[in-house]
Every structure is written in structure tokens, then in C-alpha cells.
């Protein structure tokens, strides 16, 4: 991608970075709040007990994707109607308010404010599909894959930094990472307000409808070619997010990782995403040439490694597996979104990418709710389930029309 294009869209990339950073920092923070060794010492006092910790942790995980399901789908369509920059500005302002609520909840010891902040953060977490649509708008068709990969690189940097900030700062004070996220999101909102990129004229009409997130899925019946990549994307993301949720609990319960340790483990996963995006995806796309074949390879490797992670292996082996899993994850993520966005015209790219983000929200919701079952099952069966789902994602991927992958 041209350096000039990157510079002109710098506030956009920063918004994506902060979105995923704030998302990533919450995972070690939530595990520390509701599943840590110091129950009752920090956070919500006597509200969190060994008897209700799994239920409260499931609720903390699940409320974010409830908001994201509605928010990302609506924001994706809104960006097609009002322009990318204005919609990103809305996201950043909303995220500032969300992390302000969560910070306040720990100050005044009111857990309902924390849950309200989680919902609002989900509603405003639609930067990635908007950024992807904006970058696809700005490049030639043959550069579409590279544009997607650039956004993915920014995502992975945020994914590395987020858990590290959440784990290390949360180890000192659970309020500190929330305060950092609040300040950074507010600063980026100011930058977006002053940015020049993005057409601010209406590209197509937008009509508010509370049913909009569900109607986005209904529109698939008129676009059958987009169904295979999106179905594969859903299964693949569900399997991976089950892994991502339960491997953190496994590392704490089976290997004694602290909040800081969980954060560093997540950083290792972010390194895998970075290597997959910046190093591995380009050669693999030139080798396999077709988005369908790239996705199938990624699913096969990722799913197989997930199954191995369910075995009773050492912490060092889990760290190595996580690195490989995340490298392979990038192959499926980039190729499937590139294939899906290439099957619609410019005015609907926000729709298809918003739809993919809504699908991720559903996956996060399901994975979060499943943590309630930790009261009766260890994490290992859930890790195995994740591997099976990723391997099943190969089936719809085989139905994707063969197309040359953008280099």
C-alpha cells in the first residue's frame, strides 16, 4: 500500500488500533476481576464470590457482543450512507464514554456500571469493518487484498498491545487500563474530527430500523454468492473465539498464570497475528493464488492445532501452539473477508463487512456464555470443540467461487 495513502488515513488506522486494543485489554482484566486469586480484594468487593464468579464472568464477556451485534451492523450501513470518518468519530466518542463508565464502576464499586459500559463498548466497536470498507474504496481492485492485510496488521498490533496493557497495568490497579483506554479513545476522537479522508456526502439513503441487524442477514438471500465465504467465516471465527476465551482460563487454572501472565500470553498470540499478516500471507497468496484455497489451508492448520491444544501439554507447548494458531488464523480471516467484499459493489461493502462483524459478535456472545459451563467442565473440551468447528469451516469454503487472490 502506498505510504501517502497510509498517512492520509492515519486517524482511521489509529481508530482500528484503539478499538482492538481496548477489546484486547478487557480479556485479562475480566479474567482477573472474576476468576483471579484475589476475589473480593479488588473491583466489586463481596459481589464476586467463588459461587457466582463463572456466571458473572460469562455475563461480562457476553454483554459486549450483544452490543456489537447491533452496533457493528448498524454502523457498517451508516458508514455507507454518511461517510466513514463521521461514523468512526461516533465510534471513538462512544468508546470513550464506555470506558469511562467501566472505570467509574470500579471507583464507586457498582458492578451494573461495568456491565453498562460493556454493552456501550460493544455498540461502538464497529471500526474494523468501516476501516476495511474505506481502504477497499481507496485502492484498485488488484490491491484489495493488500489493503485488507494492512488493516489486519494494525488489528494485530492492537491485539498485542491491548492484552499487555490490560495484564500489566491491571496487575498494578484494575482501574488503570480502563483510564488509559478512555484517554486514548478521546484523543483519537479529536484527531478524527480534524481529519480530511473519506467522502462526507451520502452514498445511499439510510433509514433507522431497530430490525436492521437482522435485516442485514436477510439480505443474504438476494446475494447467494456471498453466503459460502460468510458461512465459513462464521464457523471459523466461532471455533477460534471459543479457543481464545477458554485458553486464557486454562492458562490461569492449569498453569498458574497471573493477570500479567495472561496479558503476555495474549501478546504472544498477537505476534502470531502480526507474523501471519505482515510475513506469511503474501507468500501464501502468491503460492495458492485463490482466496478459496488460502482459506482452506488456514482452516486445516488452525483447526488441527486447536485440537492439539486440548491435550494435556505444558505451558511452553501451549505458547508455541498459540503462535501457530494465530498465524494460520490470518489466512482464513483475510482471504474470506476479501472474497466476500469482492462479491458486492462499492455501496454494499460496508454492509458485507458489517455483517461479518455482526457474525463475530454472535461468536463472542456464544463463547462468553459457554464460560458458565466451567462450573461443571474443564476448559479442554471447549478447546477441542473450537478445533472441530474450524475444521468444519472448510466445507462452506470449498463452495466459494474460484477467484484469484489479490496480492
Q: What is the pLDDT of residue 39?
A: 43
Residue 388 lies in a domain: yes
Residue 309 lies in a domain: yes
In degrees rounded to 5, what are phi and psi of residue 206? -130, 130
Nearest to 317 by CA among 329, 326, 305: 305
**Could you tell me the mean pLDDT of each successive run of 10 residues in the chain, 407 residues long?**
58 79 81 62 68 84 83 69 78 92 90 93 79 65 62 72 80 87 90 69 60 71 82 95 92 86 84 86 89 94 97 96 95 87 68 75 86 88 97 94 61
Q: CA-to-CA distance for 395 and 384, rounded, in angstroms?
A: 18
Residues constituting the chain: 407
Residue 213 lies in a domain: no
Total-model pTM: 0.75
Residue 91 lies in a domain: yes
Q: Name residue 404's beta-bridge partners.
A: 290
Residue 205 lies in a domain: no
Residue 207 lies in a domain: no
Q: What is the pLDDT of residue 9?
A: 67
- Give me 383's grid cell: 478447546
Nearest to 382 by CA among 390, 391, 371: 371
Q: Which residue has the cell 485440537?
A: 307
* 381 touches 296 (CB < 8 A): no
DSSP per residue, 225-263? GGHHHHHHHHHHHHHHHHHHHHHHHHHHHHH---HHHHH
- Give me 403's grid cell: 477467484
Q: The CATH number of the domain where 376 resides is what?
A: 1.20.1250.20
Q: What is the pLDDT of residue 140?
A: 63
Spatial neighbors of 224 by CB under 8 A, at least 6 apart, are: none
- Domain containing residue 391: 11-196+224-397
Q: What is the pLDDT of residue 381?
A: 96
Residue 209 lies in a domain: no
Residue 300 lies in a domain: yes
Largest CA distance in the chain: 57
Q: What is the pLDDT of residue 38?
A: 44
Into how many domains does the chain fold?
1
Q: Is 2 left (phi over 0), alpha (psi -120 to 50) or beta?
A: beta
Task: HSE, CB side, 13 Å, CA atoms: give it for residue 342.
Answer: 27
Question: How many other CB atoms are found less than 10 A from the CB of residue 304?
Answer: 15
Q: What is the pLDDT of residue 36?
A: 58
Amino acid at each position: 500500500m502506498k505510504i501517502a495513502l497510509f498517512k492520509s488515513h492515519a486517524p482511521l488506522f489509529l481508530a482500528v488500533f484503539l478499538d482492538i486494543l481496548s477489546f484486547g485489554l478487557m480479556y485479562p482484566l475480566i479474567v482477573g476481576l472474576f476468576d483471579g486469586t484475589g476475589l473480593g480484594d479488588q473491583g466489586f468487593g463481596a459481589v464476586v464470590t467463588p459461587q457466582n464468579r463463572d456466571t458473572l464472568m460469562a455475563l461480562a464477556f457476553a454483554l459486549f457482543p450483544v452490543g456489537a451485534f447491533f452496533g457493528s451492523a448498524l454502523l457498517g450501513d451508516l458508514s455507507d450512507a454518511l461517510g466513514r470518518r463521521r461514523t468512526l468519530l461516533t465510534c471513538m466518542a462512544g468508546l470513550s464514554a464506555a470506558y469511562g463508565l467501566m472505570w467509574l464502576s470500579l471507583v464507586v464499586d457498582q458492578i451494573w456500571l461495568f456491565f453498562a459500559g460493556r454493552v456501550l463498548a460493544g455498540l461502538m466497536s464497529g471500526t474494523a469493518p468501516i476501516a476495511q470498507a474505506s481502504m477497499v474504496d481507496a485502492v484498485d481492485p488488484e490491491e484489495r487484498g493488500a489493503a485488507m492485510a494492512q488493516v489486519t496488521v494494525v488489528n494485530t498490533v492492537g491485539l498485542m498491545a491491548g492484552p499487555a496493557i490490560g495484564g500489566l497495568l491491571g496487575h498494578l490497579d484494575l482501574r488503570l487500563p480502563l483510564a488509559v483506554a478512555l484517554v486514548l479513545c478521546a484523543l483519537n476522537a479529536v484527531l478524527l474530527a480534524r481529519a480530511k479522508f473519506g467522502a462526507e456526502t451520502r452514498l445511499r439513503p439510510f433509514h433507522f430500523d431497530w430490525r436492521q441487524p437482522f435485516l442485514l442477514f436477510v439480505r443474504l438471500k438476494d446475494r447467494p454468492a456471498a453466503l459460502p465465504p460468510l458461512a465459513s467465516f462464521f464457523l471459523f471465527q466461532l471455533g477460534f473465539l471459543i479457543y481464545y476465551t477458554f485458553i486464557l482460563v486454562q492458562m490461569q487454572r492449569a498453569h498458574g498464570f497471573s493477570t500479567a501472565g495472561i496479558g503476555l500470553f495474549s501478546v504472544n498470540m498477537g505476534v502470531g497475528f502480526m507474523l501471519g499478516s505482515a510475513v506469511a500471507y503474501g507468500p501464501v497468496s502468491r503460492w495458492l493464488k485463490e482466496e478459496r484455497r488460502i482459506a482452506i489451508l488456514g482452516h486445516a492448520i488452525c483447526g488441527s492445532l486447536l485440537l492439539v491444544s486440548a491435550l494435556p501439554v505444558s505451558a511452553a507447548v501451549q505458547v508455541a501452539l498459540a503462535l501457530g494458531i494465530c498465524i494460520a488464523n490470518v489466512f482464513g480471516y483475510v482471504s474470506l473477508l476479501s472474497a466476500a467484499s469482492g462479491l458486492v459493489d462499492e455501496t454494499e461493502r460496508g454492509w458485507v463487512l458489517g455483517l461479518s462483524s455482526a457474525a463475530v459478535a454472535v461468536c463472542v456472545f456464544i463463547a462468553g456464555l459457554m464460560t458458565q459451563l466451567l462450573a461443571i467442565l474443564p476448559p479442554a473440551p471447549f478447546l477441542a470443540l473450537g478445533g472441530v468447528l474450524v475444521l468444519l469451516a472448510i466445507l462452506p469454503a470449498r463452495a466459494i467461487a474460484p477467484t484469484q487472490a489479490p496480492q
